Structure 1
Amino acid sequence: LNYEQCLGKIRLLAVASLVHGRKKEVSIRAIGDALQLSEAGAEEVAVQAIGQGIVDAKIDQLARVLHVRSTMQREFGRQQWEELLERIDHWSEGVRALMGCMQSVKNQVASAAASAAGSSPGGLASPGASLASGGIATPQQ
């Protein structure tokens, strides 16, 4: 085992642990302090963590801040399963609400089409009809 490679991997995992579950911004200085590195060294480790997919983040070099969207889980236990279940339930509720809205629009379109078809002989639009903003044939004036 190579000492430098092991140290590098430990630093990457330490970055994941440091930013996981925290606020969405972590200063490069805080990362450096935690890893006992200079700010330049901490920024290099942050870049490696982003590049390897351990952290999904962007570095603001002017503000010297890491803007974190998500991090890799170092462990996946009962709490993580419960959080995942909660997210899936929330997503499922959103999908159900969207399906209800789509069904409502579908019913409105079908009702409007049936109403328009019933207003002319044979269910067809009259020769002088044009499409209104709702896409329903109406007589021209």
Structure 2
Amino acid sequence: MERRRMNLPTGPDTLCFDKDEFMKEDFDVDHFVSDCRKRVQLEELRDDLELYYKLLKTAMVELINKDYADFVNLSTNLVGMDRALNQLSVPLGQLREEVLVSPQIMLNSLQKHNMLVCLGFLSLVSLWFVFCMVSGCNPPLQKCCK
């Protein structure tokens, strides 16, 4: 699992520990205290930890306030959104109806086109047949017409 890297506030250079130690995956309190005790007295470690705790607390409050302001701004920006969405719903509904009706319109047009082509073909055959009868040529269907 990937851990998100957090930016910890920087403390004074006089701290007896490295603040980045807290973010290590294998951080161990006992090892941390033991390592610090080699350099400073427990009282100094306690004072530095208390100072850094106050820095962390202040940074956390600032972060919450910043995010809260963003959240409030977001809800303010959404105020007119429902009206805009409602205005879009009517044209979208009409477009939906047109899309649903389009296949039927196309089918009807195609059927009309096919019918006109057939009627045109029949008219041509009829004209050719009449022409053949008038001109005395032998239409191929003359045998069936007798």
Q: Name the TM-score, length of structure 2 as normaliser.
A: 0.30
Instruction: Pick the structure with more strand per residue.
Output: 1
